[in-house]
Amino acid sequence: MFGGKVSSVDWNIFYSTVSQTSGAIVGIFAAFLITKIVANQSEYYRNNEKASDFISKSRALEHETKIRYFQWYNKHTANCELSEIDDLYQDTGEILSAQEYYEKLNFSPFQPKEEALALIQNKVDEIWEMKCPNEKKCLLKVTEIFLTLNIKYKFQ
């Protein structure tokens, strides 16, 4: 350019710059990728350790439940609550349904509800037998009252 001479452009410098820049960009992406992999790996090991801890705790709890005396507890709690039904009847003089007694009293949460309701119903039947020696008349009267109440509530 100076003095009328045309000089040619050296493309080696351009290609060298492009390759270095591309290498730097690839290096930056690789650094981010490696950082992410390492972070995920440490989180994976942390979660794996937590899972192992939970598994060992669950095995310990499973072992403890095998040595507990649930049947004894259910029986003892049921006996206490059934005697409470007698006390409630003595205090109020009224006989509730098995479901009402179940809701009012504290039976064992480890005992199936159906079993507890059957025990309560037996106790209620005993109280009815004591209250009404002539059982057939009493049961007919209770059935009649129940049907009357049921019909009233259906049509309201």
**pLDDT tens digits, 99-120:** 888 888 888 888 888 888 888 8
CB neighbours (10 Å) of residue 155? 6
Q: Where are the domains of the chain?
A: 12-68, 70-151
pLDDT of residue 19: 93
pLDDT tens per residue, range 27-70: 999 999 999 988 888 889 999 999 999 999 999 988 887 777 77
Q: Name the token pair of 66.
A: 């095998």
Q: What is the mean pLDDT of residues 72-79?
A: 86
Burial (CB < 10 A; 0-12, 13-18, 19+), residue 123, is buried
Q: How confident is the model at residue 2 (pLDDT cuts 50, 70, 90)?
A: low
Residue 130: how many other CB atoms lie within 10 Å: 10
Residue 71 has a pLDDT of 82
pTM above threshold 0.85: no
**What does the alpha-carbon distance between residue 79 and residue 119 come to, in Å, rounded to a whole number?**
9
pLDDT of residue 76: 87
Nearest 5°: the CA angle 133, 138, 143 is 155
pLDDT at 92 over 90: no
Mean pLDDT over all residues of the chain? 81
Distance CA 111, CA 91 (A): 27
